[in-house]
């Protein structure tokens, strides 16, 4: 792989991360009560995205808030 190809792959990864973040945010907004209930009951919530399921953990939220 040359430098341009590597740069294109990294850009694709960045776009996928942004898409996944947007999908997760939209899901959390529309399923707020279910996500909150799962976090309270299980300490985690599974957020479906086109890149696969994303696990949101209470520990992650605490770390992000600190």
- Listed by start position, the domains of the chain span 3-65
Q: Which residues pair with 64 in a beta bridge?
A: none
Mean pLDDT, all residues of the chain: 88
Q: How far apart are CA 38 and CA 40, in angstroms?
A: 5
List the Cα angle 62/64/66 in 5-degree steps.
70
Looking at residue 5, its pLDDT comes to 82
What lies within 8 Å, CB to CB, of 5 at 6+ separation is: none
Residue 1 or 21, more confident: 21
pLDDT of residue 37: 97
Decide which of 1 and 22 is more confident. Answer: 22
Token pair of 1 as six digits: 């792989």
Q: What is the pLDDT of residues 9-36, one digit of tens each?
A: 777 777 678 888 899 999 999 999 999 9
Entry pTM: 0.74
């Amino acid at each position: 792989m040359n430098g341009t190809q590597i740069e294109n792959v990294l850009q694709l990864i960045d776009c996928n991360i942004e898409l996944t973040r947007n999908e997760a945010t939209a899901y959390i907004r529309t399923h707020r009560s279910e996500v909150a209930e799962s976090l309270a009951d299980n300490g985690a919530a599974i957020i479906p995205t086109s890149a696969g399921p994303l696990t949101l953990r209470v520990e992650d939220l605490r770390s992000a808030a600190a």
